[in-house]
Structure 1
Amino acid sequence: MIKETIVEGPSVPEALDAALEEMGVQQDAVEYEVLEGGGKGLFGASKAAKVRVWIKAGYVAPGAVEPDVDDEDDLEDDTLVNHAGYDAVSPSDLTDEELDAIADEAVNVINSILGPLGIESEIEEYEGDENEIIMDIVGEDLGILIGRHGRTLDALQILVSAITNRRIERRFPIVVDVSGYRYRRRLKLEEIARRAADRVARQGRPVELRPMTSFERKVIHMVLRNDRRITTASQGEEPFRQVVVHPK
Structure 2
Amino acid sequence: MRQITASGQTIEEAVQSALRQLNTTKDQVTVDVIDEGKKGLFGVFGSKQAIVKVTKNMNPIQQAEAYLKNVTTKMGVEVEIKTTVHNQEIVFELVGEKIAILIGKRGQTLNALQYLLHLVVNKKKDHFYTVVLDAEGYRKRRKETLYSLAERLAEKAIRTRREVSLEPMPSFERKIIHTALQDNNRVETYSDGIDPNRHVVIKP
Contact residue 102 and residue 168 of structure 1 kept, 8 A:
no
Where does residue 125 of structure 1 map in the other structure? Answer: 83
Structure 2 CA distance, aligned partners of 1:110 and 1:242? Answer: 28
Higher Rg of the two aligned structures: 2
Aligned residues: 146
Check the 8 A contact 2:110/2:134 in 1, yes or no. yes
**1:170 is matched with which residue?**
127
1:211 aligns with 2:154: no
Query: Does the 8 Å CA contact 2:166/2:199 hold for their aligned counterparts?
Result: yes
TM-aligned CA distance change 1:163 to 1:211, over 3 Å: closer
Q: Which residue type is aligned with residue 76 of structure 2?
A: G
1:195 aligns to what?
A: 152
Q: TM-score, normalised by structure 1?
A: 0.51
Residue 236 of structure 1 and its aligned partner are, at CA, apart by 3.6
Q: Which amino acid aligns with 1:119?
A: V
Tell me, yes or no, if the aligned pair for 2:77 and 2:97 is still in contact at 8 Å: no
Aligned to 1:235: 192
Is residue 140 of structure 1 aligned with residue 122 of structure 2? no
Query: What is the TM-score normalised by the length of structure 2?
Result: 0.61
Instruction: Find the aligned partners of 1:233 and 1:109 in 2 and give their Cα distance.
Output: 35
Identical aligned residues as a percent: 38
Q: Conserved in 1, the CA contact under 8 Å of 2:118 and 2:131?
A: yes
Deviation at 1:133, TM superposition (A): 2.1
The answer on whether the counterparts of 1:149 and 1:212 sit within 8 Å (CA) in structure 2 is: no
The alpha carbon displacement at 1:135 in A equals 0.7
For 2:109 and 2:165, the matched residues in 1 are separated by: 24
User: In the alignment, which residue of structure 1 is the partner of 2:106?
Assistant: 149
> In the alignment, does 2:74 pair up with 1:110?
no
| Structure 2 unmatched runs, 5+ | 1-58
1:204 to 1:167, Cα distance in 2 relative to 1, 3 A: same
- The separation in 1 between residues aligned to 2:179 and 2:99, in whole angstroms, is 28
Contact 1:109 1:164 in 2 (8 A): no
- Tell me the residue number matched to 2:115: 158
CA displacement at 1:168 relative to structure 2: 7.9
Which residue identity lines up with residue 148 of structure 2 in the other structure? E
Q: Which amino acid aligns with 1:163?
A: V
Does structure 2 conserve the Cα–Cα contact (< 8 Å) formed by 1:157 and 1:176? yes
CA distance in 1, matches of 2:95, 2:125: 25
1:21 aligns with: none
Asked whether the 8 Å contact 1:232–1:243 carries over to 2, the reply is yes
Instruction: Please provide the CA RMSD for this pair.
Output: 2.6
Tell me the secondary structure at the aligned position of residue 166 of structure 1.
coil
Change (3 A) 1:145 1:244: same
Q: Is the 8 A contact 1:146 1:178 kept in 2?
A: yes
Q: Can you give the 5+ residue segments of structure 1 that lack an aligned partner in the other structure?
A: 1-100
1:246 deviates by 0.3
CA contact (8 A) 1:123 1:138 kept: yes
Higher relative contact order (CA 8 A, sep 6+): 1
Seen in structure 2, the aligned counterparts of structure 1 residues 103 and 144 have a Cα distance that, compared at 3 Å, is same
Measured in 2, the distance between the counterparts of 1:118 and 1:167 equals 30
